[in-house]
Structure 1
């Protein structure tokens, strides 16, 4: 239904409902639902009570009609059994024939209970017994008309005042119970919704504080009972806290990345500006000085370009799914080792590779292996070996790169994969401190784990482990 076709009442109701808080709406919906159920139960109870009262009255009529038929079977046809002659005051009885109540019949003036065509049909035997409601002398009465022998019918009437009074009392009592139940449901519904939605209220307040302060350090406070309750609302609050923790960590990582990148870029950019200003006064320099400045400028440009490219790679948080394909990891490692041999002529590379196929992005896996090989060669003394081994086990695929350099100090081991982190031994060596961080990010994106440890006999050992249940599957987000 469009807005143009909605009635004014519907529009006002929609606007009113939209302005209500969720807690109030839940309490209102709960109260209305319980009220409808209560009204339905009370209505059903009223019908049952009325049916039972009428049934008891009909049963009493049937019993008394049986007694009257036995005691009055010798009475003359058409004789009125007095107004309450045989029964107590609220009852009347009379015997009729097929002609009773017709014009000129002598007993017509003595009739107390109205005689109809249906009554005469019962007397004639063409209709069975039936119950009816009549009014006699201003009193409501329940009547039973039943056949007697000899073309006669017995009419027995009992006042139904007690039934009507019982119905009124039952209706009043049930109405009071229904109203009390609706009010109680409203109160309990409000309390229940307030308690159940308390984490949602705190979640809303926390989200509003984060939106106002842009600080993801806020959390939804949950009581121990709410934490262990395990319902959907508590799990939502817990998930929101977990999400806030991840967001805070991500924001902190971004801030660290920006700060570290700014720090790392400051020195090469300053050198670039210095050499550019120097070349701007080239007429004052000798040819040798110009060549040195131009060479330094080119090297610094390459360093800055490499640093920027590394930062761009680190900013990626997932692998492009269309590029995922089966990769022969042993062949890829062989190619990377050959390239490393050409770059590090004074380092010996040995490879022992098993035939292994994994799903991944070849260029990214090659970048991971190249970073590990360059890192190992950088810390390897001239003439030492860098050992590369690829094995396929029952539960995992392991690729290890081991050097014979100074190794990793215990205090540096927890930080070797941090961005821009450089140990004391590495500060005098070329590099930006991003290679190992990038390698771990690529490993995580492919569902693998990259770890560092001290090798037996000296040196460092980096281990890339791909679980068997991950091998052959597309990469995931890092």
Structure 2
């Protein structure tokens, strides 16, 4: 049992070693060389199988023809009343020239008709023929390095006529055939290897172009698309690679714009903070402290700038998050999210009236991101609404609609309101970072939704944010609130 286990363990180790060697060879050899090698092996296997089949079939056919020829002669000799003494010297010479020797098997002993006969041992096959158990027999015997074909036929009761003929001519034919088949197989392998290498080299040219392009991008950071040739799978791969380059280029452009815009937006509050801090420092060093009302004014300004910086940094962090939605989103009622956002904005704008009509709409997503998006829409509406104005908020079939009755948005500004840091000329004098509506669009897209705006100058603006979801119950939860 231990020997069997040792052999099995040795076999597994051998197989593992072979697999490891093949894996290492695969890693070292190029793809074109692997394709050419596999092509050569496939052709070699095919040609080898065909050559072996041809060789075996031809050999069997030649041996069968030789057996039939010897058997016909033996049967004719038996039919003509052959006896060992009936062979003349002339017949013996002819048989000797043809390489044929004749034996008779009688009483379990050989009787030869030629003086220089080859000693061929009797076997059970010839004995069965002499006993009449089989009609004939044929076998191959090797005597002194020479291959003979031995054929026996019945020659009477208890006897058999045996003819022995060398297979030199057949073996020469088979040797020539084997040589031809080997040469043909080797030539086919060489042609297949060359063809496989040529096909692999030409077929992988687009892959090499992609490799050079990727290396060029890694070396120079230049995201230039490469030329697409043909319409095959490699052309599709090239097209996909170009699309990836364009996406990377757009991402880099957005990052540069974000950094530039963030630097521009941060410069103003930082400059104001530095000015106020320097004012406080100089007044303290000069021994002339500010009056109470001046100190209060400076500290109020510093507090406002710090709040603006905090808001701006929070918005930048929110936009910098590029991860997809969580794998386990949380189910929620969007109506509750909108209601919480309204409560927060109402505290910041107590003079406004919020006309609310919410219907239950269940979604799966991030409550924090959705509430932030709705809050930004409400803050934007509150900022542009007139004093004591009304903001209309509705939720129906997954569409959150926020409408204000302010001055509206100019037609030239409508395509840009959701861009980062975009602020119209009228908005530059108002507080804000220009990132709120960008965060709204980002949150909607992360949840598979959209956001759009409609406005007519002088008649306010209407923002609609849609979020995919469902309403499992036919009942609607509606609320109409108004506060002054």
Q: Which position in structure 2 is the counterpart of 1:368?
A: 373
1:425 aligns with 2:433: no
**CA RMSD in angstroms, aligned pairs only:** 3.6
Moved more, 12-21 or 378-387: 12-21
Q: Which position in structure 2 is the counterpart of 1:178?
A: 185
1:452 aligns with 2:453: yes
Q: Return the alpha-carbon distance in structure 1 between the equivalents of residues 371 and 295 of structure 2.
A: 38
Q: Return the alpha-carbon distance in structure 2 between the equivalents of residues 134 and 52 of structure 1.
A: 18
Aligned runs of 1:158-197 on 2, under 5 Å? 158-197=165-204
Question: Could you report, residue by residue, the CA deviation over 1:216-255 in whole angstroms, capped at 9, with x for unpaired residues?
Answer: x1334321x2xx32x3x55544433333332222222111
Q: Which position in structure 2 is the counterpart of 1:340?
A: 345
Instruction: Assess if the C-alpha contact under 8 Å between 1:330 and 1:356 holds in 2.
Output: yes
1:351 aligns with 2:361: no
Residue of structure 1 aligned with 2:131, choices 120, 125, 129? 125
Instruction: Assess if the C-alpha contact under 8 Å between 1:80 and 1:95 holds in 2.
Output: no
Residue of structure 2 aligned with 1:94, choices 78, 95, 102? 102
Residue of structure 1 aligned with 2:66, choices 52, 57, 62? 57
Q: Which position in structure 1 is the counterpart of 2:271?
A: 270
Q: Return the alpha-carbon distance in structure 1 between the equivalents of residues 310 and 248 of structure 2.
A: 30
Q: CA deviation at 1:18?
A: 4.7
Secondary structure of residue in 1 paired with 2:363? strand
Q: Aligned pair in 2 of structure 1 residues 88, 349: CA closer, same or farther (>3 Å)?
A: farther
Q: Which position in structure 2 is the counterpart of 1:467?
A: 468
Q: Which position in structure 2 is the counterpart of 1:31?
A: 40
Q: CA deviation at 1:13?
A: 9.2
Secondary structure of residue in 2 paired with 1:461? strand
Secondary structure of residue in 2 paired with 1:94? strand
Secondary structure of residue in 2 paired with 1:427? helix
Q: Which position in structure 2 is the counterpart of 1:475?
A: none
Secondary structure of residue in 1 paired with 2:467? strand
Q: Return the alpha-carbon distance in structure 2 between the equivalents of residues 64 and 360 of structure 1.
A: 97
Moved more, 283-292 or 372-381: 283-292
Q: Aligned pair in 2 of structure 1 residues 76, 61: CA closer, same or farther (>3 Å)?
A: closer
Q: Which position in structure 2 is the counterpart of 1:21?
A: 30
User: TM-score if structure 2 supplies the norm length?
Assistant: 0.82
Q: CA deviation at 1:338?
A: 3.0
Q: Which position in structure 1 is the counterpart of 2:205?
A: 198
1:46 aligns with 2:55: yes
Q: CA deviation at 1:307?
A: 0.7
Instruction: Assess if the C-alpha contact under 8 Å between 2:153 and 2:160 holds in 1.
Output: yes
Q: Return the alpha-carbon distance in structure 2 between the equivalents of residues 320 and 96 of structure 1.
A: 97
Question: Could you report, residue by residue, the CA deviation over 1:148-182 in whole angstroms, capped at 9, with x for unpaired residues?
Answer: 22333222344533322321221122112111110
Matched positions, count: 452
Instruction: Assess if the C-alpha contact under 8 Å between 1:78 and 1:96 holds in 2.
Output: no
Q: CA deviation at 1:203?
A: 2.1
Q: Return the alpha-carbon distance in structure 2 between the equivalents of residues 323 and 144 of structure 1.
A: 85
Instruction: Assess if the C-alpha contact under 8 Å between 2:59 and 2:174 holds in 1.
Output: yes
Residue of structure 1 aligned with 2:121, choices 106, 116, 140? 116
Q: CA deviation at 1:94?
A: 3.1
Instruction: Assess if the C-alpha contact under 8 Å between 1:386 and 1:403 holds in 2.
Output: yes
Q: Return the alpha-carbon distance in structure 2 between the equivalents of residues 159 and 29 of structure 1.
A: 43
Q: CA deviation at 1:327?
A: 1.6
Q: Return the alpha-carbon distance in structure 2 between the equivalents of residues 61 and 151 of structure 1.
A: 21
Q: CA deviation at 1:263?
A: 0.7
Q: Return the alpha-carbon distance in structure 1 between the equivalents of residues 162 and 324 of structure 2.
A: 96
Q: Return the alpha-carbon distance in structure 1 between the equivalents of residues 315 and 99 of structure 2.
A: 107
1:222 aligns with 2:219: no
Secondary structure of residue in 2 paired with 1:117? coil
Instruction: Assess if the C-alpha contact under 8 Å between 1:112 and 1:136 holds in 2.
Output: no
User: TM-score if structure 1 supplies the norm length?
Assistant: 0.83
Q: CA deviation at 1:458?
A: 3.3
Q: Return the alpha-carbon distance in structure 1 between the equivalents of residues 199 and 471 of structure 2.
A: 46
Question: Could you report, residue by residue, the CA deviation over 1:362-400 in whole angstroms, capped at 9, with x for unpaired residues?
Answer: 2221111010011122222334432111112xxxx2111
Q: Return the alpha-carbon distance in structure 1 between the equivalents of residues 19 and 401 of structure 2.
A: 71
